[in-house]
């Protein structure tokens, strides 16, 4: 499996709208979601197949998407506040 890509993800599908709503909720509604028409080439559905990671690496998701996003936003806030 050397040189082959391995997907790391929760193997669950989520819409861009759901992702945006989750982010807005995590920042306490300080932003609004603007809906625009789809563009040519936009990906309509995507879901990471983490089978290789599970089998070859013994990896499995340990953090939910929401909790991972919260941790990321917390770290960004820390970095912004540093002098």
User: Are 71 and 25 contacting, i.e. CB atoms less than 8 angstroms apart?
Assistant: no
- Write the CB contacts of 64 (distance below 8 Å, at least 6 apart in sequence): 10
Q: Cα–Cα distance between 37 and 60 in angstroms, integer?
A: 35
- Write the CB contacts of 8 (distance below 8 Å, at least 6 apart in sequence): 48, 50, 53, 59
* Share of residues in the chain with pLDDT > 70 (%): 99
pTM above 0.85, yes or no: no
User: Are 56 and 13 contacting, i.e. CB atoms less than 8 angstroms apart?
Assistant: no
Q: What is the pLDDT at residue 45?
A: 80
User: Are 19 and 68 contacting, i.e. CB atoms less than 8 angstroms apart?
Assistant: no
Q: What is the pLDDT at residue 22?
A: 92
Which segments in the chain show pLDDT lower than 70?
Answer: 1
């Amino acid at each position: 499996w050397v040189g082959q890509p391995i997907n790391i993800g929760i193997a669950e599908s989520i819409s861009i709208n759901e992702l945006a709503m989750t982010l807005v909720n995590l920042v306490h509604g300080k932003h609004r979601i603007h809906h625009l028409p789809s563009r040519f080439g936009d990906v309509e559905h995507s879901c990471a197949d983490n089978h290789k990671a599970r089998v070859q690496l013994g990896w499995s998701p340990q953090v939910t998407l929401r909790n991972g996003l919260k941790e990321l936003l917390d770290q960004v806030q820390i970095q912004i506040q540093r002098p």
